[in-house]
């Protein structure tokens, strides 16, 4: 038996040695990165619910490359690039994750399921108690979502791709996936992966940004509430119904996402406990599992390897950094307008990583002033961040195709 014949028994190794140096190194790199993500997930440095299936999927898909009957290299996980209908039908019977990808991922259904789950977990009462303050902080924290757009176009991205990568600044994974699916199908795999990788980092990175921008004296500033505002479930339900209808009316393109989010809120506030248990449990966690798994499996070296990936990594971090700065700037504006009675740290919660950024704000404040509670106001800003990110998604998805007519490259 010759060396080549022997190696062909172990197709993963055979294809690794047969591929170009760049692909070989990328496959090895992704296998190691996948293991690292699992480790960081287990340690709690990155979000374990996403990172463990994603990391394992990344390692497995890059290891399990084989020579297919067509003579080309591929995997038995899924093929995101197939467009031919007959070929797709055949693949649905061969690649075990192809049905999930085609019927749930590439049409945004999985993102909608996650949004329903988020809706069930949200208590919109925090927003209803202080709507203008919450929405103001949230829109300030969208600085990265807006300012990254011209930076990305200056780096050579077209308007669609620039808008998609800018959405990372909104710190909302399903929105990034949805925007890139709508605007830049070619780049949605790397953009989605970059977004979810960075979102896991917000919990670790934002505390340093807050400490750098807000002095300890201001971080310890107490919040004096004039009166406690009680919001009934009827008011929350009315808000969900009216809010969903108005936003769908304004942005039909993002209507599935608005509907999913407010469906979760409505089900919770209507007291439909069986639905709450289902959406907040099996549906949310099932969707999160398959989201992480699919994102990991999509990181196959030959699919994802593109010179644009490095630029996307840089732009993603710029977007999140600018959004964090914008949020704290919003906090400072409210601090000045309120006669220096508002803790500017709360501004970071406008970045819509519910409830991570709100918890970050409370943690940083508690380090210098254990008795100061900012969490209720921070949660209001954080939930509003979901709404402002949805608004920006709607704007980008609606106006960018129109702009193509005005500015044909």
Binding flag, residue 142, other proteins (CB under 8 A) = yes
Q: What are phi and psi of 67, to 5 degrees?
A: -90, 120
CB 38 within 8 A of CB 56: yes
Tell me the closest approach of the beta carbon of residue 59 to other proteins, in angstroms.
38
Task: Write out the binding residues for other proteins, residues 335-354 only, by CB under 8 A.
Answer: none
Residue in 138, 265, 305, 328 binding other proteins, rule: CB under 8 A: 138
**Residues facing residue 66 across a β-bridge:** 74
Q: Which helix (H) or strand (E) holds 88?
A: helix 85-94
Contacts to other proteins from residues 144-183, by CB under 8 A: 146-147, 149-150, 153-154, 159, 162
Query: Of 84, 132, 226, 408, which lies in the binding site for other proteins, with binding defined by CB under 8 A?
Result: 132
Residue 395 within binding range of other proteins, rule CB under 8 A: yes
Indicate the SS3 state at residue 222: coil
Per CB under 8 A, 402 contacts other proteins: no
Helix and strand tally (H, E) in the chain? Answer: 23, 2
Instruction: Please give the angle made by the CA atoms of 12, 15 and 16, to the nearest 5 degrees.
Output: 80
Tell me how far the alpha carbon of residue 255 is from its chain's centroid. 18
Instruction: Check binding of 139 to other proteins (CB under 8 A).
Output: yes
Find the part of the chain contacting other proteins (CB under 8 A) among 43-51, 100-108, 173-181, 382-390: 382-390
| Tokens coding 82 | 């197939």
The tokens for 256 are 């599935």
Contact region with other proteins (CB under 8 A), list: 9-17, 255-263, 306-314, 388-396: 388-396
Q: What DSSP string describes 231-263?
A: --HHHHHHHHHHHHHHHHHH-GGGHHHHHHHHH
Q: How many residues bind other proteins (CB under 8 A)?
A: 39
Nearer of residues 65 and 328 to other proteins, judged by Cβ: 328
To 10 degrees, what angle do helices 159-166 and 173-183 make?
Answer: 170
Torsion-angle region of 353 (φ positive above 0: left; ψ -120 to 50: alpha; else: beta): beta
Among 204, 222, 234, 271, binds other proteins (CB under 8 A): 234
Q: Could you give the CA distance from residue 43 to residue 113 in angstroms, rounded to a whole number?
A: 27
Give the binding range for other proteins (CB under 8 A) out of 87-95, 138-146, 215-223, 313-321.
Answer: 138-146
Binding mask 238-277 for other proteins (x = CB under 8 A): xx--xx--xx--x---------------------------
Among 136, 198, 259, 335, binds other proteins (CB under 8 A): 136
Per CB under 8 A, 388 contacts other proteins: yes
| CA–CA distance, 105 with 109 (Å, rounded to integer) | 6
Q: Is 387 in the site for other proteins (CB under 8 A)?
A: yes
Residues that bind other proteins in the complex, under the rule CB under 8 A: 127-128, 131-132, 134-136, 138-139, 142, 146-147, 149-150, 153-154, 159, 162, 231-232, 234-235, 238-239, 242-243, 246-247, 250, 384, 387-388, 391-392, 395-396, 399, 403, 407
């Amino acid at each position: 038996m010759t060396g080549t014949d022997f190696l062909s028994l172990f197709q993963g190794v055979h294809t690794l040695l047969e591929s170009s140096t760049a692909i070989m190194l990328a496959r090895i790199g992704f296998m190691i990165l996948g293991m690292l993500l699992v480790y960081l997930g287990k340690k709690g440095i990155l979000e374990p619910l996403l990172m463990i299936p994603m990391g394992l999927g990344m390692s497995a898909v890059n290891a399990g490359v084989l020579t297919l009957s067509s003579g080309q290299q591929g995997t038995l996980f899924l093929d995101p690039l197939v467009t031919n209908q007959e070929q797709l039908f055949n693949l649905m019977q061969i690649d075990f994750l192809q049905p999930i990808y085609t019927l749930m991922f590439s049409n945004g259904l999985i993102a909608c399921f996650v949004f329903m789950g988020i809706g069930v977990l949200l208590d919109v009462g925090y927003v209803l108690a202080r709507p203008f303050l919450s929405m103001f902080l949230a829109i300030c924290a969208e600085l990265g979502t807006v300012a990254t757009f011209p930076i990305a176009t200056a780096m050579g991205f077209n308007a669609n791709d620039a808008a998609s990568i800018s959405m990372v600044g909104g710190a909302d994974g399903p929105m990034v996936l949805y925007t890139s699916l709508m605007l830049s199908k070619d780049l949605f795999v790397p953009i989605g992966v970059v977004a979810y990788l960075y979102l896991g980092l917000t919990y670790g990175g934002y505390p340093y940004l807050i400490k750098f921008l807000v002095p300890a004296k201001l971080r310890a500033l107490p919040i004096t509430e004039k009166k406690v505002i009680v919001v009934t479930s009827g008011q929350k339900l009315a808000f969900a119904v009216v809010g969903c209808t108005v936003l769908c009316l304004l942005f039909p393109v993002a209507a599935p996402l608005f509907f999913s989010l407010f469906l979760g809120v409505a089900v919770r506030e209507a007291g439909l406990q069986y639905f709450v248990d289902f959406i907040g449990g099996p549906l949310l966690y099932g969707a999160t599992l398959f989201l992480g798994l699919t994102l990991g499996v999509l990181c196959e070296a030959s699919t994802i390897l593109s010179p644009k990936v490095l630029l996307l990594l840089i732009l993603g971090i710029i977007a999140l950094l600018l959004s964090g700065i914008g949020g704290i700037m919003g906090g400072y504006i409210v601090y000045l307008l309120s006669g220096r009675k508002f803790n500017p740290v709360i501004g970071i919660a406008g970045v819509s990583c519910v409830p991570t950024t709100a918890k970050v704000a409370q943690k940083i404040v508690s380090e210098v002033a254990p008795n100061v509670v900012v969490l209720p106001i921070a949660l209001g800003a954080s939930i509003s961040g979901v709404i402002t990110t949805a608004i920006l998604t709607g704007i980008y998805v609606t106006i960018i195709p129109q702009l193509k007519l005005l500015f044909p490259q």
